Amino acid sequence: MSERGSPARALQRLAGELLGATSPAAIGALVATTAAELLGADATVVFARADATTLEALHTSGWPEEFSRPFRRLELHRGRPLSDAVLDGHPIWLEDAAQWRLRYPDMAPFGTAADRQASACLPLRVEDRDLGAVVFSFNAPRAFSAEEREFLVAVTALCAQGLDRARLLVAERAARAAAERQLGRMTFLSRTARLMEAPLSVEDRLQQLADLAVSELADWCAVHLVRGGRVDQVAVAHSDPAKVAFVAQLQERYPPDPDAPGGALRVSRTGEPAYYPEIPDELLTAAAVDDEHLALIRSIGMRSALVVPLAVRGRRLGALTLVHAESERRFDRTDLAFTEQLAASAAVALDNARLYEEQWRTAHTLQAALLPTDLPAVPGLRLAARYRAPTDADMLVGGDLYDVVPEPDGCGVVVADVCGKGAAAAALTALIRHTVRAEIDHGLGPAAVLERLNQAMLRASGGRPGRFATVAQARITRTPSGATVRLASAGHPAPLVVRHGRAEPVCAPGTLLGVYPDVTLAEVTFDLDHGEIMVLYTDGVTEARDADELYGPERLVRAVADARSADDLADRLLADVDAFQHGQQRDDIAILVIEADAEVAP
Amino acid sequence: MTGTTAEVVLDGELDISTYEDARARLAEAERTAPELLVVDLAGLRFVDSTGVRLILSADERAREAGRRLALRLGDGPARRVFAALGLVDRFEVLDAP
């Protein structure tokens, strides 16, 4: 070994080079080179674990193509040297062809192919993570001294760490891309919401919606509306006007079959979405009236399609169709869910335009859809939430929101209040809920979550100061004595902490969101011991009124000071506010209560 | 100091029920394009988010037109609300006249 250089120095160099290698194949190549240089390994194959039963070759060197081809993918089988190394987590050392034949007679023809003699099969592991294996092969018999074994084990360990890092990097990139995509889509939704409020005719709005959809979501978009007993196509869009004209002629010549399953006409009537991740040719053949029709619809080149209903409270207004054609993209389940959400907000806006007097009711529906129906169970914490819409039917609902995002060691919570009322406020409430969820999942702390939310709100309002919101966001982590709370507040009413029969506000100063590109946010951290309770609320509580005054912070403190549990606090507070305002509630109210549970040990 | 100043005094309550009236009074003052528009909120007994939004949009319009907008907040409800929303530092705030 000495004539080829110092193993310690080689390992050091390999560790350094591995830091720069981000792809699994590059890592495999570095390992092969190092083993060849230091030990004179004649061939190396690095395998990654593809799934529970399969290995996949990441890098092969020294084996002619005809020998390595069958080993690109290997099933794990006990009783083969590589599989045994992976399954048992121990290296297998085979010093020469005779040992191969003795210990692995079935595999010896493969292991000693091309006149190979010795082989070392080593598992790639980091902690308990099983990442694959490496096989080093030698043309001459080799005794594998203790020093050589140590060196190969060390090379393999470095390789495993490199692969583990690369895997985490890929996972992190994917998570970031997913979050960015989600933010992009939320911005798109809110642009759609503004479009649907524009002073245009219903047809013009829907045509603009279709145009917007083909700029971002699909190659084709069509909108159908139910009118009396008929279903009319009111908008169709493609980036190429010639194609729009072609389809118009096609439909004139071959009117669509109103009963075709999964067609826009049928979805408009039934309210059931249709989802075609792939459009096989048989589907076109079945839909075609004759050979010429078939040739024409084939020429459109449809690859994947979604047809979702435009419906509000069970009333079917029409359908939104998206088609991928020449881009050869495919819709997946996420696209379907997003398109349904888009159709739902478009349908609400459409309904508002047609039935203005019912607007408050649809906004209620949207608001209700934005609040969690059930709070998640979070071990070690007791949660309670209440939402109360204004009593007066003339009042539009506001944009109050609460949400709980479970985390492995606790949860993230948010309470927000969007300025203004009606569908537009509810659309911004949707943006807040989705953005906060995405950023919490991303691992950001409360102040950072609120900063990202501020950016998302400004993007959604086209960079101009828009509707503002006050938001309180807290990250709650279980501890042996209860929980630790990290809180940031963007101009939101100060949460209260109830301990030893007293309620005290926790002040985390901060700027409201959605107006200024720079916001100042102070994060505060405090503990909730077992049995202590934190309550977050919106200003509908403190600004509740009787004949001559406001409910105010002092009444709030008195109402919750004696609370015995999260649910008890929420009930007392609502009852006290109700009694004060004599059942006449002007603004909406949201309350979220978190108690460090005395019963459940973390 | 030369230049034109206009002042709008809002008192009582500034919320959804008085919003239209307050908006019309601000619009009237803005029509004369004063270099400085002072909005006196010191005497308000109550301001809600609708009222805050009205002031934020007036401020935005003033910025766009290259005019100044200043507030009198006094030490009552208006100051408390603007402070709670983290807005006091965002405005030019004048003392009581």
Looking at the complex, report in whole angstroms how far the Cα of residue A436 sits from the nearest Cα belonging to chain B: 20
pLDDT tens figures, A34-58: 888 878 889 999 998 888 889 999 8
- Report which of residues A153 and A384 the model is more confident about: A384
* Angular region, A222: left φ>0, alpha ψ -120 to 50, beta rest: beta
Looking at the complex, report in whole angstroms how far the Cα of residue A569 sits from the nearest Cα belonging to chain B: 24
Q: Does A470 touch chain B (CB under 8 A)?
A: yes
Are residues A470 and B85, on separate chains, in Cβ contact within 8 Å?
yes
- Cα separation of A159 and A529, whole Å? 46
For residue A202, pLDDT over 50 is answered with yes
Q: Is A301 helix (H, G, I), strand (E, B) or coil?
A: coil
Looking at the complex, report in whole angstroms how far the Cα of residue A402 sits from the nearest Cα belonging to chain B: 18
Identify which of A464, A520, A539 has the shortest CB distance to residue B86.
A520
B chain contacts of residue A419, beta-carbon cutoff 8 Å: 49-50, 52-53
**Given this model, what pLDDT does residue A414 score?**
96
Interface test with B, best of A429, A468, A506, A523 (most B CBs within 10 A): A468
- Cα separation of B11 and B13, whole Å? 6
Q: Does B88 touch chain A (CB under 8 A)?
A: no
Identify which of B48, B53, B89 has the shortest CB distance to residue A468.
B53
Identify which of B49, B87, B89 has the shortest CB distance to residue A419.
B49
Q: Does A516 touch chain B (CB under 8 A)?
A: yes
Mean pLDDT, all residues of chain A? 85
Q: Does A91 touch chain B (CB under 8 A)?
A: no
ipTM, two decimals, is 0.91
Looking from the CA of A44 toward its CB, the CA atoms found within 13 Å total 25
Looking at the complex, report in whole angstroms how far the Cα of residue B59 sits from the nearest Cα belonging to chain A: 11
- Cα separation of A121 and A118, whole Å? 10
**Given this model, what pLDDT does residue A34 score?**
83
pLDDT tens figures, A220-279: 999 998 877 788 888 899 988 888 888 888 888 888 777 777 788 888 888 889 999 998
Q: What is the DSSP string of A353-391?
A: HH-GGGHHHHHHHHHHHHS-SSPPP-TTEEEEEEEE--S
Identify which of B46, B49, B89 has the shortest CB distance to residue A550.
B46
A chain contacts of residue B57, beta-carbon cutoff 8 Å: 465
pLDDT tens figures, A309-325: 988 877 788 999 999 99
The answer to whether residues A510 and B86 touch, using CB atoms and an 8 Å cutoff, is: yes
Q: Does A553 touch chain B (CB under 8 A)?
A: no
Q: Does A302 touch chain B (CB under 8 A)?
A: no
The answer to whether residues A62 and A114 touch, using CB atoms and an 8 Å cutoff, is: no
* Segment A190-195 mean pLDDT: 71
* Segment A386-398 mean pLDDT: 67
Q: Does B45 touch chain A (CB under 8 A)?
A: no
Are residues A420 and B50, on separate chains, in Cβ contact within 8 Å?
yes
Structure confidence at residue A357 as a pLDDT band (50, 70, 90): very low
Number of A–B residue contacts, CB under 8 Å: 45
- Cα separation of A444 and A145, whole Å? 50
- Cα separation of A384 and A567, whole Å? 5
**pTM here?**
0.52
**Given this model, what pLDDT does residue A472 score?**
98
Q: Does A509 touch chain B (CB under 8 A)?
A: yes
State which residue of chain A sits closest to B63, comparing Cα positions: A465
A chain contacts of residue B69, beta-carbon cutoff 8 Å: none
